[in-house]
Amino acid sequence: MKKKIDNEEIVIASHNKGKVSEIKDLLKNYDLKILSSSDLGIEEPEENGSSFEENAIIKSSVTSALSKTVSLSDDSGLCVNALGGQPGIYSARWAGPDKDFLYAAEKIHENLLEKGADDYSAYFICVLAVSWPDGDHKVFKGRVDGTLSFPPRGDNGFGYDPIFTPLGYTHTFGEMEPEFKHSISHRNHAFNLFSKELLIEKQ
């Protein structure tokens, strides 16, 4: 079994400010020095895997090899049931080079209207991958189910948050307080599995 990650440096393999801030919040009760790829000037590698798991491992292993420290990556996305799971691993790419998520949300809406879909159910997936400089890695997966609604609502969060309402709630992720969203998100579910196996809480 891999030894616990405690009292050491860990690099979050991402340049996405929203993601990095959510992961930092999740890691606040642990004795770790947290840096991101942006802090170290490490480029994000090309995500050419065919699944969330493959892409997460590509990001954490490349970052760990370059930084020579433990690296944590997150590959996540929104899967829309009526669209056969799209945008899925292409969630970031649907927003185009300008990372315009209002445009991406509109594209999803148009696709649903074109199909005449009445099923607006969707889910977010998050795969966290941890890589060690010796080449070893582990993955943890979380999911949250919900419904899409248009137009987008709320200015909090990032990405597709303003169109996603988790099951059992009436507010979109974009309308929720960030701490609350973090406590019920797909990232939190994956993070719980990761922390249970590999982290030690501060005393």
What gap in Å lies between CA 120 and CA 167, rounded to an integer? 12
CB atoms within 10 A of CB 169: 14
- Is 16 among the residues that bind ligand IMP (CB under 6 A)? yes
Q: How far is CA 139 from CA 100, 114, 143, 150, 161, in A?
A: 29, 36, 14, 33, 24
Choose, by CB under 6 A, the member of 157, 165, 166, 175 that binds ligand IMP.
157
Please tell me what DSSP assigns to residue 116: T
Quick one: 158 or 169, whose CB is closer to ligand IMP? 158
Q: At its nearest, how many Å lie between ligand IMP and the CB of residue 85?
A: 13
- Is 91 among the residues that bind ligand IMP (CB under 6 A)? yes
Question: How far is Cα of residue 112 from the mean position of the Cα atoms in its chain?
Answer: 24
Choose, by CB under 6 A, the member of 132, 160, 191, 194 that binds ligand IMP.
160
Quick one: 7 or 51, whose CB is closer to ligand IMP? 51
Q: Is 75 a catalytic residue?
A: yes
- Is 158 among the residues that bind ligand IMP (CB under 6 A)? yes
Write out the E strands in 39-136.
70-80, 121-131
- Is 184 among the residues that bind ligand IMP (CB under 6 A)? no
- Is 78 among the residues that bind ligand IMP (CB under 6 A)? yes
Q: How are strands ordered across the β-sheet holding 70-80?
A: 32-36, 8-12, 70-80, 121-131, 137-148, 164-166
Burial bucket for residue 153 (CB in 10 Å: 0-12, 13-18, 19+): middle
By CB under 6 A, the residues from 97 to 126 that bind ligand IMP are 101, 124
Q: In which element (H, E) is residue 28 found?
A: none
- Is 162 among the residues that bind ligand IMP (CB under 6 A)? no
Q: Which stretch binds ligand IMP (CB under 6 A): 109-117, 132-140, 152-160, 189-197?
A: 152-160
Name the active-site residue from 31, 75, 134, 136: 75
- Residue with the CB atom nearest ligand IMP in the bound state: 159
- Residues near ligand IMP (CB under 6 A) are 16, 47, 75-78, 91-92, 101, 124, 157-161, 173, 185
User: Which residues are tagged catalytic?
Assistant: 75
